[in-house]
């Protein structure tokens, strides 16, 4: 699932972060931990437990969308920016098994001012793509970020 020559560095986040996707302070969240790749993309190696299932043995479609959204958001965050989802498109070519190791990848495709077009995908241990998405994220201005309690860390 990881290339042995791949260099991945941990991304820092705030300890009091209650984000459903990555927040360590959210007891019912996914607790995703992202790593920064040398090319500026982000990677998360995780296993989604069966309490997030839709059909038995498979991750719920809404959780899959959340995983992709989180990877895209972290790709923007890797540039030191706080942004929120404006548009999200998801495709589900294959079911994502619960309780199995998966790899999330996210990267920025292009940016223009406060707009960031991003893509993400979910891969299984064999490198097959299970789901992918693309989105538009809008950078939150510092004043708004402070009001919503966003921490760029």
In a domain? residue 3? no
What is the pTM assigned to this prediction? 0.88
In a domain? residue 105? yes
Short-list 84, 83, 65, CA closest to 134: 65
> What percentage of residues in the chain have a pLDDT greater than 70?
88
Quick one: how far is CA 121 from the chain centroid?
A: 9
Burial of 131 (0-12, 13-18, 19+ CB in 10 A): buried
In a domain? residue 152? no
Residue of 39, 50, 69, 151 with catalytic role = 69
Q: What is the CATH number of the domain that holds 67?
A: 3.10.129.10
Q: Which domain holds residue 71?
A: 8-147
Q: For residue range 32-46, what is the model confidence (pLDDT) as tens digits? A: 999 999 999 999 999
Number of domains the chain is built from? 1
69 is catalytic: yes
In a domain? residue 117? yes
In a domain? residue 69? yes
């Amino acid at each position: 699932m990881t290339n042995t020559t791949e260099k991945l560095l941990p991304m820092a986040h705030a300890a009091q972060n209650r984000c459903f996707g990555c927040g360590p302070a959210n007891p019912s969240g996914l607790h995703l931990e992202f790593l920064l790749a040398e090319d500026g993309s982000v990677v998360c190696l995780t296993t989604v437990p069966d309490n997030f299932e839709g059909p038995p043995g498979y991750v719920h479609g809404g959780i899959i969308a959340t995983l992709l959204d989180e990877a895209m958001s972290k790709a923007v965050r890797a540039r030191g920016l706080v942004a929120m989802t404006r548009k999200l498109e998801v495709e589900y070519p294959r079911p994502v098994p619960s309780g199995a190791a998966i790899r999330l990848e996210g990267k920025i495709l292009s940016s223009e001012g406060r707009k960031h077009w991003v893509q993400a995908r979910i891969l299984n241990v064999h490198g097959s793509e299970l789901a992918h998405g693309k989105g538009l994220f809008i950078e939150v201005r510092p004043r708004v970020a402070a009001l919503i309690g966003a921490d760029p860390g």
